Amino acid sequence: MLAMEPAPARNFLVGLPQLLPEPPKAILVVSAHWERLRPAVNAPAHNETIHDFGGFPEALFDLQYPAPPAQALASRVAELLTGGGLPTEIDTRRGLDHGAWVPLLVAWPDADVPVLQLSVQTRLGPQHHCQLGQLLAPLRDEGVLIFGSGSFTHDLASFRVSGGLIDAPEQDWVRRFADWMALALLEGRLDDLLNYRTRAPEAAHNHPTEEHLLPLYVALGAGAGRISHLHKSTTYGILRMDAFAFG
């Protein structure tokens, strides 16, 4: 619903392009909603808008995001990852899931920047995804924005505590986890971040499964230099919508 509902995180995304030093030539989205056993990038002839959800207003299903595909960049991504020991498939059929098109629709509504996606391998954890990012780092100097799309906390089973209110009070167990993670990022405590599952408070509560946190590690691995905490807000009392810039 971020594509339609007013929220601080939506306001942040509207202004995101103005925070970049220059417009991206292309955007590589690492989305929590594309899980594969091995890395894969998409390179279709046309980017289909995938409505991979149910039970939402019909108007959400009417939204389309026809961003140009980035087939040459998909080959470049596959080359970088495969050359680094992570064989990567190019999927010529898959379009953009809502982990990609929802934030991009808000930030780049004209859909005029080429977009492709990279899958996550949930069972392989943070270290693997940091390695993915490290191998992709050369793209930063080629005008590509590496965009990790997930959620800083993501226990949807606790959604009932919000009473359906987008501005419901933040739960204490959400705050303690998110604040620990944010401080670890800002202090560069890589070992703690890679082992957050056993060191961060309420880690398993906030992430019963890891796919929504793993895109962060790809961005972390691809980054260099200072980490900036660009945005902090909570929706429905349980979903922290923080954003970070790496380098």
pLDDT above 90 for 224: no
What are the residues whose beta carbons fall under 8 Å from the beta carbon of 50, sequence distance 6 or more? 94, 95, 96, 97, 98, 101
Q: Residue 49's pLDDT is what?
A: 98
Q: Looking at residue 120, what is its pLDDT? A: 98
The pLDDT value recorded for residue 73 is: 98
User: Would you state the pLDDT for residue 165?
Assistant: 87
The 10s digit of each residue's pLDDT in 166-209 is 889 999 999 999 999 999 999 999 999 999 999 999 999 999 99
Predicted confidence (pLDDT) at residue 95 exceeds the cutoff of 90: yes
Q: Could you tell me the pLDDT band of residue 247, with boundaries at 50, 70 and 90? A: confident
Instruction: Name the token pair of 78.
Output: 């596959």
What architecture is domain 8-246?
3-Layer(aba) Sandwich (3.40)
The stretch 206-217 carries a mean pLDDT of 98
Q: Which pairs count as long-range contacts for 241-244, CB under 8 Å and 24+ apart, including other chains?
A: 241/7, 241/8, 241/9, 241/12, 241/151, 241/152, 242/152, 242/178, 242/182, 243/9, 243/12, 243/16, 244/185, 244/216, 244/219
83-110 mean pLDDT: 98
Question: Can you tell me which residue has the tokens 């590690």?
Answer: 217
* Residue 113 reports pLDDT greater than 90: yes
pLDDT at 241: 96
Q: Is the pLDDT of residue 163 over 90?
A: no
Q: What's the pTM?
A: 0.96
pLDDT number for residue 160: 85
Q: Looking at residue 161, what is its pLDDT?
A: 84
pLDDT score recorded for residue 166: 87
Q: Give pLDDT, residue 40.
A: 98
Taking residues 140-149, what's their average pLDDT?
97
State the pLDDT at residue 93.
97
Share of the chain above pLDDT 70, in %: 100
For the chain, domain boundaries: 8-246
* Mean pLDDT over each residue of the chain, to the nearest integer: 96
Q: Mean pLDDT, to the nearest integer, of 218-233?
A: 94
